[in-house]
Amino acid sequence: MARIAAGVASSHVPLLGVAVDQDKTGDEYFAPIFSGYEWTRQWEKEQQPDVVVLVYNDHASAFDASIIPTFAIGCGENFKPADEGWGPRPVPDVEGHADLAWHIAQCLILDDFDMTIINEMDVDHGLTVPLSMMFGTPQKWPVRVVPLAVNVVTYPVPSGNRCWALGEAIARAVESFPEDLKVQVWGTGGMSHQLQGPRAGLLNREWDNRFMDMLIGDSDDARWIEHIEYLRETGSEGIEMVMWLIMRGALGPATRCLHRHYHIPCSNTAIGHMVLEPAT
Amino acid sequence: MTDVHSYLAEFDDIPGTRVFTAARARKGYHLNQFAMSLMKAKNRERWKADETAYLDQWPLTDEQREAVLTRDYNRMLDLGGNIYFLSKIFSTDGISFAEAVSTMTDMSFPEYREMMNKGGRSPEGNRSIKGGY
């Protein structure tokens, strides 16, 4: 049977993709960010997961304003890097796992999550930057990916509680897939950042670290944080952190932290990264 | 169940922030779709050649047109623009995300960049208008 072996959380700032694509990861500005991912790159090589369920948000790339799915799952065979206005990133195409994706989609719908099913879409930096952070610059990504896109742009976005519950449902779905697969769930985006208005540039080191603390062990406090708290404390775009809760929910009642990294700033954003595994 | 009216009302209490609510999404629909059209190279060329003529194809209000032509991003936010869509405009202008963001603050880009390198804007005093904390 398939099983969820671990969870990974990471910011997905587009500038990190630029740093990788232009070979600047060792620069003075970027080195302190990328050095916090070295542990994970080595760990991923040892882990060799088969599939990543990659929770991210689209930034007006695949979806325009005409359709706004709250939760969408990519069931296609493969996904191309999106042209976000300056040409697609020079990274490999993303290979899907259509059998697992369709299985998860069916299970989630039967479990009362009314998913939007996507057969064709391009994937933007929200999805490809975390792959670059964890795997570097291979000719071919070493995992297959089930993209799970969340609306965190147009309010109301899904609640933290709903995201956590979706993670729990994803875990049940994965565990009922007959093939023997090692699956990771990644929650991406965040941490504190505000990209708009006179308050732009807000960062909150203390709050971000408290949030990371809450994802370790058997606490479910993070599940109940309201949207207004993310907005006040972490900036208008900090709400992306609800996507980390899908990852956390998928890991079960308790977690162990294997690795943790935090750095301020990357462009407008606080970088956070964690590797968690289910604790039994 | 969360009451939608009190849920939305709280958003107005955040200093210097326009939360992208359904009302803003509706108001800014064509503004955002116009910005989205700049994802295509062909459209970018036509836009660069004649911005006013390009905008004529979109049912924008006069205020929205003016805000776009003057690159007044705070005004575009007020008129329903969302930053991820509006980013297509400043990307086409060849301006970085951080620089475009700085134009919405009371700082120059070098000042803004320095603030970010020193740890960003503090949440202290920036959480609530009414509460002043």
Tens of pLDDT along A46-59? 999 999 999 999 99
Cβ–Cβ contact B126 with A under 8 A: yes
* Chain A hits for B101, Cβ within 8 Å: 195-196, 200-201, 268
> Catalytic residue at A103?
no
Of the residues A125, A261, A263, A273, only one is catalytic, namely A125
Domain boundaries, chain A: 3-186+236-252
Predicted local distance difference test score (pLDDT) of residue A85: 80
Tell me the β-bridge partners of B121: A202
Cβ–Cβ contact B38 with A under 8 A: yes
* Chain B hits for A267, Cβ within 8 Å: 96-98, 116
Work out the mean pLDDT of chain B and round it to a whole number: 97
Q: pLDDT of A201-215, one tens digit each?
A: 999 999 999 999 999
The pLDDT tens digits along chain A (280 residues) read 999 999 999 999 999 999 999 999 999 999 999 999 999 999 999 999 999 999 999 999 999 999 999 999 999 999 999 988 878 999 999 999 999 999 999 999 999 999 999 999 999 999 999 999 999 999 999 999 999 999 999 999 999 999 999 999 999 999 999 999 999 999 999 999 999 999 999 999 999 999 999 999 999 999 999 999 999 999 999 999 999 999 999 999 999 999 999 999 999 999 999 999 999 7
Question: H helices within chain A, ranges in order?
Answer: 14-21, 31-34, 38-47, 98-110, 125-135, 160-175, 205-214, 227-234, 242-250
Cα separation, A152 vs A142, in Å, equals 28
- Give the burial string for A111-134 (b: 16+ CB within 10 Å, else e): bebebeebeebbbbbbbbbbbbbb
- Is the backbone peptide bond immediately before A92 cis, with ω within 30 degrees of 0? no
Cβ–Cβ contact B74 with A under 8 A: yes
Give this prediction's pTM.
0.98
Of B15, B35, B83, Cβ closest to residue A195 = B83
Domains and CATH numbers, chain B: 21-93 (1.10.700.10)
Cα separation, A58 vs A123, in Å, equals 7
- Give the phi and the psi of residue A202 in degrees, each rounded to 5: -65, 130
Question: Could you write out the DSSP letters of every residue in A107-165?
Answer: HHHHTT--PEEESS--B-HHHHHHHHHHH-S-SS-SSEEEEEEE--SSSSPPPHHHHHH
User: What is the largest distance, in Å, between two alpha-carbon atoms of chain B?
Assistant: 51
pLDDT class of B1 with cuts at 50, 70, 90: confident
Contacts for A179 with CB less than 8 Å, ≥ 6 apart: A1, A2, A99, A100
In angstroms, what separates the C-alpha of B23 from chain A's closest C-alpha?
9
Of A65, A159, A201, Cβ closest to residue B25 = A65
Of A14, A233, A265, Cβ closest to residue B120 = A265
Enter the DSSP assignment of A95: E
Cα separation, A2 vs A77, in Å, equals 19
Predicted local distance difference test score (pLDDT) of residue A84: 87
Comparison of pLDDT for B15 and A85, the residue scoring more: B15
Question: Using the beta-carbon criterion (under 8 Å), do A232 and B7 form an inter-chain contact?
Answer: no
Q: How many A/B residue pairs have CB atoms within 8 Å? A: 148
Q: With a cut of 0.90, is the ipTM above it? A: yes
CB atoms closer than 10 angstroms to residue A137: 12
Comparison of pLDDT for B6 and A85, the residue scoring more: B6
Question: Using the beta-carbon criterion (under 8 Å), do B17 and A197 form an inter-chain contact?
Answer: yes
In angstroms, what separates the C-alpha of A26 from chain B's closest C-alpha?
18
CA B35 vs CA A22, A46, A114, A205, B28: distances in Å: 27, 44, 30, 33, 10
Contacts for A233 with CB less than 8 Å, ≥ 6 apart: A192, A204, A207, B123, B127
Predicted local distance difference test score (pLDDT) of residue A196: 97
* Chain A hits for B16, Cβ within 8 Å: 197-200
Question: H helices within B12-108, ranges in order?
Answer: 22-27, 29-37, 41-49, 51-55, 62-69, 73-78, 83-92, 97-102
Residues in chain A: 280
Of B88, B97, B126, Cβ closest to residue A202 = B126
In angstroms, what separates the C-alpha of A207 from chain B's closest C-alpha?
10
Of the residues A12, A97, A103, A193, only one is catalytic, namely A193
Predicted local distance difference test score (pLDDT) of residue A86: 79
Cα atoms found within 13 Å of the Cα of residue B1, Cβ hemisphere only: 3
Question: Using the beta-carbon criterion (under 8 Å), do A195 and B77 form an inter-chain contact?
Answer: no
> Catalytic residue at A125?
yes
How confident is the model over B45-56, as a mean pLDDT? 98
Q: Is the CATH number 3.30.420.130 carried by domain A3-186+236-252?
A: no
